[in-house]
């Protein structure tokens, strides 16, 4: 394994001082570069719809990059979490196939990385029991991401599973002792609770778990076409699997603002800035420069630039995805193999947990 001391990659110039989370993420990036094989990634995407550009720039691209650096990357499709905020797991098989196609087409390599669904890993789910005992109801009630997801959910009441979603996520991450979690900003409160659970378990029963850290990208909160967080379930996303024409149509409908002069100013013009950033990330250019070039061209020119940039950036991905789609038998076999490995890891962790607790033999 070759190691590198390269500086962490950042394609986004800062317009504001870095937050604590960003500083911690940059420090983590440095440590990974020094010893990639010493880290394990656990992260994933709910099979609630098609993956979108927010996933790609927020997390997926980092996963592939880390895999290629030599980090052990484990990607979870948290299928039970689909029923946190909806009555049925409708179209679960179709969405799971779609996620697998996206991962493979983006470069997740099953020879080096693992993809699994947590409903296939009973030991992982069993970890929720001791973990639930380590958190208070008040802590769960305070979680801002849960509050936000409740606000956007299709349900009038909050299910127990929704409230305990972050604990389930702790079980996901700690079942394989993941220590790096490439996520978007919305996941930071969840990850904080995972760290709390790991710490409390270690204090109470002896050190067993790492305290996983968030790895943020240059686009930790990409906005959707309506100006709120791009989300699978908010009808505001640009799916990676959309055709070039669909992508153009969706971007055309994106919310902008009344100022015709295009600038990159995330604080005062979040909608325009998110589009500029999208183009800049695809073109690997500075967003200020991209905005300056569009200048007085207005929203129409901005949207044309973004559409061209996204479509050419995704061209190779789309071709690879279409190839994989011809062989779903292979695609599903990747998940079966991943489930086997995840079971072995989670069973070993559960054994250690029981041993540490000195009970439940």
Is 184 a residue that touches ligand ATP (CB under 6 A)?
Answer: yes
Going 138 to 142 to 148 to 149, the CA torsion angle's sign is negative
Could you please report the per-residue DSSP string of 171-226? HHHHHTT--EEE--GGGHHHHHHHHHHHHHHHHHH-S-----EEE--S-TT-B-TT
Is 213 a residue that touches ligand ATP (CB under 6 A)?
Answer: no
Tokens representing 96 are 């799971």
User: Least distance from C-beta 193 to ligand ATP, angstroms?
Assistant: 15
How many positions of this chain bind ligand ATP (CB under 6 A)? 21
Name every residue whose Cβ is closer than 8 Å to that of residue 114 and which is 6 or more positions away in sequence. Answer: 72, 73, 74, 75, 337, 338, 341, 342
Q: Quick one: 162 or 230, whose CB is closer to ligand ATP?
A: 230
Q: Quick one: 77 or 350, whose CB is closer to ligand ATP?
A: 77
Is 168 a residue that touches ligand ATP (CB under 6 A)?
Answer: no
User: Least distance from C-beta 118 to ligand ATP, angstroms?
Assistant: 13
**Per-residue DSSP letter, 110:** T
Is 117 a residue that touches ligand ATP (CB under 6 A)?
Answer: no
Q: How far is CA 353 from CA 4, 128, 348, in A?
A: 35, 11, 9
User: Least distance from C-beta 221 to ligand ATP, angstroms?
Assistant: 5
Segment interacting with ligand ATP, rule: CB under 6 A, options 32-40, 181-189, 296-304, 340-348: 181-189
User: Least distance from C-beta 51 to ligand ATP, angstroms?
Assistant: 8
CA dihedral 179, 184, 188, 194 (to 10 degrees): -40
Residue with tokens 């996303």: 237
User: Least distance from C-beta 215 to ligand ATP, angstroms?
Assistant: 10
Pick the binder of ligand ATP from 231, 241, 247, 307 (CB under 6 A).
Answer: 231
What CA–CA distance (Å, rounded) separates 285 from 353?
47
Name every residue whose Cβ is closer than 8 Å to that of residue 151 and which is 6 or more positions away in sequence. Answer: none
Pick the binder of ligand ATP from 148, 186, 347, 352 (CB under 6 A).
Answer: 186
Q: Using an 8 Å Cβ cutoff, are 85 and 154 in contact?
A: yes
User: Least distance from C-beta 256 to ligand ATP, angstroms?
Assistant: 17
What CA–CA distance (Å, rounded) separates 120 from 338?
10
Is 45 a residue that touches ligand ATP (CB under 6 A)?
Answer: yes
User: Least distance from C-beta 65 to ligand ATP, angstroms?
Assistant: 15
Q: Quick one: 70 or 220, whose CB is closer to ligand ATP?
A: 220
User: Least distance from C-beta 75 to ligand ATP, angstroms?
Assistant: 10
Is 54 a residue that touches ligand ATP (CB under 6 A)?
Answer: yes
Tokens representing 176 are 């394989």
Which residues in 24-43 contact ligand ATP (CB under 6 A)?
43
Residue 261's φ and ψ, nearest 5 degrees, are -80, 120
Pick the binder of ligand ATP from 113, 114, 187, 271 (CB under 6 A).
Answer: 187
Which residues of the shown chain bind ligand ATP in the complex (CB under 6 A)? 43, 45-46, 48, 54-55, 58-59, 183-184, 186-187, 219-222, 229-233
């Amino acid at each position: 394994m070759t190691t590198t001391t390269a500086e962490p990659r950042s394609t986004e110039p800062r317009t504001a001082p870095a937050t604590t989370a960003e500083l911690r993420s940059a420090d983590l990036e440095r440590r990974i570069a020094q010893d990639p094989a010493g880290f394990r990634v656990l992260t994933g995407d709910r099979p609630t719809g098609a993956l979108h550009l927010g996933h790609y720039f927020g997390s997926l691209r980092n996963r592939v990059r880390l895999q290629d650096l030599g980090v052990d990357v484990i990607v979870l499709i948290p299928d039970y979490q689909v029923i946190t905020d909806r009555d049925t797991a409708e179209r679960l098989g179709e969405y799971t196939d779609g996620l697998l196609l996206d991962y493979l087409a983006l470069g997740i390599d099953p020879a080096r990385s693992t993809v699994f669904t947590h409903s296939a890993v009973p030991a992982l789910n069993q970890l929720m029991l001791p973990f639930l005992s380590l958190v208070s109801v008040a802590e769960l009630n305070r979680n801002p991401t849960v509050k936000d997801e409740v606000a956007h959910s299709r349900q009038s009441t909050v299910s127990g599973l929704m409230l305990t979603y972050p604990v389930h996520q702790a079980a996901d991450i700690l079942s394989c002792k993941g220590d790096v979690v490439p996520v978007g900003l919305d996941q930071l409160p969840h990850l904080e609770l995972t760290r709390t659970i790991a710490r409390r378990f270690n204090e109470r029963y002896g050190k067993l778990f790492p305290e996983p850290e968030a790895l943020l990208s240059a686009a930790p909160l990409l906005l959707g076409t309506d100006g709120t967080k791009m989300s699978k379930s908010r009808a505001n996303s640009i799916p990676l699997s959309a055709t070039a024409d669909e992508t153009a149509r969706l971007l055309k409908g994106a919310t902008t603002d009344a100022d015709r002069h295009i600038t990159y100013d995330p604080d005062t013009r979040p909608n325009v800035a998110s589009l500029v950033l999208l183009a800049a990330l695809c073109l690997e250019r500075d967003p200020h420069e991209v905005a300056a070039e569009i200048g007085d061209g207005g929203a129409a020119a901005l949207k044309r630039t973004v559409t061209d940039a996204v479509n050419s950036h995704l061209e190779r991905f789309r071709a690879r995805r279409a190839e994989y789609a011809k062989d779903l038998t292979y695609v599903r076999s990747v998940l079966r193999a991943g489930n086997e490995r995840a079971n072995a890891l989670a069973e070993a962790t559960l054994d250690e947990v029981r041993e540490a607790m000195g009970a439940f033999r």
